């Protein structure tokens, strides 16, 4: 005999059964999520990082975000370079990217007195995710100024018996690096620049941002090596500089660095090797520096002798800055053809691939002098 359950009781049982099913389901979900959290906490940190962007699309998005993130300092890596220097420039970029810039993505600016070839442009762009810009020089910044006696300048070229003495383009380059590079439109918005050149090597990993370091600590000029100048190339540079100081005493602060560059009142040849320099461009744009460059430029020494941008920059630093405004980058292992520098603690740090015994910073007398000024 079949017994019928009253309709009200049947509805009540259905509600109770549904509630039980919901409770069981909720318990299962909470248990699963708790287990996942516990497992995630127990994972090694390295495993968490590997899983953070495991899909190709995630990797691509992370790369794009990194590339588009703005630099904390308005700065760039800048080079005056020829189309024929492509392979040497690629070597430099590869080292800079590996040692430093893959972490910071600072832009590159390449300048030339002739248009860059498509081969050069592609060749350097292929090596970096950073923005790359190309600029050309105008006739004011590259060539003979109107006041130069070109026949006299040519006679100097013909008679020169020292390195690069017969190179007209080398003299144009020294004048440009001394007084025009910071005026180029592509650098107009920059606060800092790092000068780079083809065929150089960077021996050590650089784990911090040197631009930010300089800005945060009030440094105006950064250098790495300080050899002696070949004095035959600059016979009247110091006398011209002394005349400038006599005529412009108001521009020379009492506290300066002339002790580094002079001995017994004469220039000792010490200079910062400017193929590596990191500079707060407000220094080059200052009225003091511009007045000094224009004074030198009018004298004609860039063409009637072979004044280099290295002694010009160094004498300007010595006249206008204090030691607290100048940064010695002793942790940047660096090689430029003919000369190299390896940090003395490079083996201990484990971040360099060089021999500090062979490329000792104290091989250069001016490096020792820096410590005592």
Closest CA to 368 of 338, 334, 328: 328
List Cα–Cα distances, 233 to 32, 44, 178, 236, 314, in angstroms.
79, 62, 16, 9, 15
Cβ contact 318:257 at 8 Å? yes
State the Cα–Cα distance between residues 357 and 342, nearest whole angstrom. 8
Q: Residue for token digits 């760039």?
A: 76
State the Cα–Cα distance between residues 289 and 238, nearest whole angstrom. 16
Q: What is the C-alpha end-to-end distance of the chain, expressed in Å?
A: 115
Say what the alpha-carbon torsion angle 294, 296, 299, 303 is, to the nearest 10 degrees.
-110
Judging by beta carbons within 10 Å of its beta carbon (0-12, 13-18, 19+), is residue 70 exposed, middle or buried? exposed
Catalytic machinery residues: 277
């Amino acid at each position: 005999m079949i017994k019928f359950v009253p309709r009200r009781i049947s509805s009540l049982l259905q509600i109770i059964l549904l509630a039980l099913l919901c409770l069981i389901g909720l318990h299962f979900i909470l248990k699963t999520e708790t287990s996942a959290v516990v497992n995630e906490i127990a994972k090694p940190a390295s495993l968490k990082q590997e899983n953070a962007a495991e899909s190709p699309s995630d990797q691509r998005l992370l790369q794009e975000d990194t590339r588009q993130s703005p630099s904390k300092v308005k700065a760039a890596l800048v080079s005056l370079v020829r189309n024929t220097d492509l392979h040497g420039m690629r070597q430099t970029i590869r080292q800079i990217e590996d040692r430093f810039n893959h972490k910071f993505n600072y832009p590159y600016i390449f300048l030339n007195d002739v248009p860059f070839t498509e081969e050069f442009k592609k060749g350097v762009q292929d090596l970096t995710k950073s923005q790359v810009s190309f600029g050309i020089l105008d006739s004011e910044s590259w060539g003979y100024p109107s006041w130069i006696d070109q026949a006299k300048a040519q006679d100097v070229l013909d008679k020169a018996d020292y390195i690069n003495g017969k190179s007209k383009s080398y003299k144009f380059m020294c004048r440009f690096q001394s007084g025009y590079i910071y005026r180029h439109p592509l650098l107009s918005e920059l606060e800092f620049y790092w000068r780079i050149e083809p065929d150089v090597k960077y021996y050590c990993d650089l784990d911090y941002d040197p631009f930010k370091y300089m800005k945060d600590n009030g440094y105006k000029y950064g250098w790495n090596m300080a050899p002696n100048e070949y004095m035959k190339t600059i016979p009247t540079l110091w006398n011209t500089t002394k005349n400038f100081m006599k005529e412009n005493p108001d521009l020379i602060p009492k506290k300066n660095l002339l002790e580094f560059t002079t001995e017994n009142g004469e220039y000792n040849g010490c200079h910062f090797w400017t193929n590596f320099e990191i500079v707060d461009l407000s220094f080059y744009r200052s009225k003091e520096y511009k007045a000094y460059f224009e004074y030198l430029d009018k004298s004609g020494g860039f063409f009637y002798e072979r004044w280099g941008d290295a002694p010009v920059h160094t004498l300007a630093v010595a006249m206008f800055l204090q030691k607290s405004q100048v940064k010695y980058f002793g942790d940047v292992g660096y090689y430029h053809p003919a000369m190299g520098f390896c940090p003395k603690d490079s083996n201990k740090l484990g971040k360099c691939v060089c021999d500090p015994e062979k490329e000792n910073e104290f091989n250069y007398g001016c490096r020792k002098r820096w410590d005592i000024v």
